[in-house]
Structure 1
Amino acid sequence: ARPPRAMASEAPGAPERPHPEAAAVGAAANKVAESIETKGDNSYYFAHSMKKDDLTKATLIEGDGSRQLACAGGMQKVETEELAALEKVEWREDYAWGDEGAKVKLYVEFPAGSLGHPAVKVDARFEEYRFEVLVHGVGGGSRTSGVTNGEHRLSGRIVPEKCQWRFNSGKSRLTITLVKAEPEEGAWSTLKKHVISQHTGWN
């Protein structure tokens, strides 16, 4: 009996047939190269083939507190002490006032001795047509009382650097002194200047 014949090998010099998976990878690579060559930086493949930045040694740059920055824990809640304080202010409208020629004085009454507590603190701000005085810690409590002309301008212009406030000896009255810039204009008939609105009448 004849021995089985061995399968003939491919002829010498014949090109090697690529593996199907290798052929697919090569075709994909050609598409990527063709896309980048044609579209450059706008190529989808170019954007996704860029080298990722190494952020392990990146330095976190923080501000001086004057601006709100994004932080690792999320955006910080914007809440200033000034806004918090304004929410707790008890604005006093029960004051008395009088025109004394070159000055206008306001008088605000408090419980006897309550303004003499060590916790009492006063913040005063005077502008040409506006004033605001805040009294914190009246009687040692957390309450803040305030006096201001608000959104209505004063009846006349004042001299901010000459205006002042003081407590009486019994620590029960706050006196605010507004110095007129133009006393020759005469006495103020009202503390605040009211204007007539064509839409709503008196304002």
Structure 2
Amino acid sequence: MAANDIHVRMCLQEIVKLDLEIKARIQDVQQCDNLEQLEEQNRQAKVALAQLKDKINTLERLGKEQDREEDRVVVLKNVENHQQRMTSNIATLRKTNLSVKMAIDTQERDALMLGSETRKRNINSKETLAKAASKVTESLLELNQTMDAQVRKGNLTLTTLESSSKNITDTHEEFKSMGSHIQNARRLLTKYSQRELTDKVLIFLALVFFFATVLYILQRRIWSTRSSNS
């Protein structure tokens, strides 16, 4: 009895799982936008429906094997409910297939009509495209000429800048040379100024010595004269 209950529960779980899978396949069918996808989703849905039918039959067999009448009634009631759900899923799948096929047919028809109109527009617009291409080519040629002129102008400017840079470099070298001469002249002037100061001091000392000598001589003579008079 317990083993039968376990088998019944496992079978019910498989039935619920397959029912959910079929509903998911119906949703996938609704999302199809071409016949190849539609055929693939229908194939997988048919496989799930076949498995579901097999599990319901198994559940029905297990229900009939129940010892107690109450259990038998409950299981067979579940069998009836799942059969109704399976029938409803089959009907829903058919309706969904019909609506999706109609949508795909409409889409393909619209695509054919759009393609025909597009081809007509392409034929009518060839001359316009040719004219536009010619204008683009002319614009590119003008742009190329303008760029060549800019390049030549840039080369001339670069040559002028190189010449100016050379002149600046030469001037800088001249300034450096002049600075060296000025530094040498400054050293000479400083040296001459020092020598001039030395000469002035020597002359001053010589004058002091000279006047001291004169005063000494005068003092000696005056002293000698006084001594003679005495």
TM-score surpassing 0.5? no
More strand per residue: 1 or 2?
1
- For normalisation by structure 1, the TM-score amounts to 0.19
* Higher gyration radius (CA): 2
TM-score by length of 2: 0.17
